[in-house]
Amino acid sequence: MYRFLKILASLSLATVLFAVLLWYGKEVNRRAETVVWAEPFLDNIYIYGENVHFTLEPGFGEDVLLINKQTRRYFRPSVYANQGLYLPELEDGVYRIYASDLSIQAPKDFELSGYTITRSGQNLHYRFLCEQERLVLYVDCALALPEEVFDIIIDAGHGGDNNGATRRGRLEKEENLRASLYMAELFKAAGLKAALTREGDYIPGQPGVAEADIDPYVMGGRVYLAYSTQAKYYISNHLNASTRQAMQGWQLYRSVQADAGWQQAVAANFISFGHTPNDNFKSFGTEGIYRRYSQDNENTGSDYYYILRETGGKLTKPRSFIKVHPEIDLRQGAEGLLVEYLFLDNTDDLDYWDENWRGLVEAVADGCLTYWGVK
Ligand SMILES: [Zn+2]
């Protein structure tokens, strides 16, 4: 009898234990379900000029991102390509990167690196890498840029068989080249490493090519050079022409994806110089501070001017260049500015140019340096 009771007791103990274990197991499972959450996974990083944009999946795209060193720094994603995480503000060191307080996971071999522009004789070398499945950023001081890397690229518009605007035997391509060569001198004097899309009378990448066959996407062409030089800023120099001879004054075009910061710095200098803006295109903006949407595909929000659209990397939605050069890394692009100094086909403007072209180029260069924080 005693033995029977003993068996019964151990059985019920086993039942109770089993029940407890079963309940605990369920509880652990339930807790596990609530504990496991999705960490943000890096979709990609895009850089426009010196501004970083992170794209994350799934659904973390709008979250505030922070970068944590000894100090914590917060960055808000911006709709403007030329805002975001501004690389020159970072101190050297190693950064771990979070979104909504969760570390960002990156693909195993992820790597994206480059340089900020030269300020006080120094550059920052940045490297986004994946370490232990997490995105990290290394920032180091560099005392010089590698040979193939440039800060700025200056584009002398037109060239070769493409004269651009013409008046009284004057050719826009020649004025653009003169202005660009002088601008390169000014940037070099400010300690910047400046490249030119052309230094003579030819179409970049296509010497001897007739105007009808111009392809800006060829190897060595205007668009290709933006990526091969790794320039952070792209400035395209032009003189304007109009079917209405009364048209006068300067126009500045930025990408439709950017805010007007760069334009405003240059515009302020034009105005203090006494140079009047062209204000004829209300649909592009006012007082010469313009942006122009592509007419054929306005809904895509892309630029009308290929030089602004195709050179800015993924953020300016290049269309044609990708088809020609699928191997080019479009994760980094240059911030672009197209300057129309005045109307070459207007006689008053042309006289003004002849008297003041140096001062006007200086006004633009000085505005650029202000915007870039170089001086
Ligand atoms: Zn032009």
- SS3 percent helix, strand, coil of the chain, rounded to 5, is 30, 30, 40
Higher per-residue pLDDT: 372 or 68:
372
pLDDT at 102: 84
pLDDT in tens, 296-311: 655 667 999 999 999 9
Taking alpha carbons only, the member of 358, 373, 375, 368 closest to residue 190 is 375
- Cα of 319 vs centre of ligand 1, distance in Å, is 21
Q: Cα–Cα distance between 366 and 190 in angstroms, integer?
A: 10
- Cα of 23 vs centre of ligand 1, distance in Å, is 77
When pLDDT is cut at 50, 70 and 90, the band that residue 30 belongs to is very low
Residue 58 backbone phi and psi in degrees, to 5: -100, 135
Say yes or no to pLDDT of 373 above 80. Answer: yes
When pLDDT is cut at 50, 70 and 90, the band that residue 31 belongs to is very low
Where in the chain do CATH 3.40.630.40 domains reside?
A: 152-372
pLDDT at 267: 98
Arch. (CATH architecture) of 152-372 = 3-Layer(aba) Sandwich (3.40)
Q: Which two tokens stand for residue 185?
A: 């001198």
- 184: Cβ–Cβ under 8 A, 6 or more apart, which residues? 154, 194, 196
When pLDDT is cut at 50, 70 and 90, the band that residue 32 belongs to is very low
Say yes or no to pLDDT of 252 above 80. Answer: yes
When pLDDT is cut at 50, 70 and 90, the band that residue 214 belongs to is confident
pLDDT in tens, 138-149: 999 998 999 999
- Cα of 47 vs centre of ligand 1, distance in Å, is 27
What pTM, to 2 d.p., does this model score?
A: 0.88
- Cα of 370 vs centre of ligand 1, distance in Å, is 25
Taking alpha carbons only, the member of 161, 203, 159, 191 closest to residue 178 is 159
When pLDDT is cut at 50, 70 and 90, the band that residue 60 belongs to is low
pLDDT in tens, 196-208: 999 999 999 998 8
- Cα of 328 vs centre of ligand 1, distance in Å, is 27
Task: Please name every residue paired with 195 in a beta bridge, in sequence order, or none if there are none.
Answer: 153
Say yes or no to pLDDT of 18 above 80. Answer: no
- Cα of 202 vs centre of ligand 1, distance in Å, is 14
pLDDT at 151: 98
- Cα of 162 vs centre of ligand 1, distance in Å, is 9
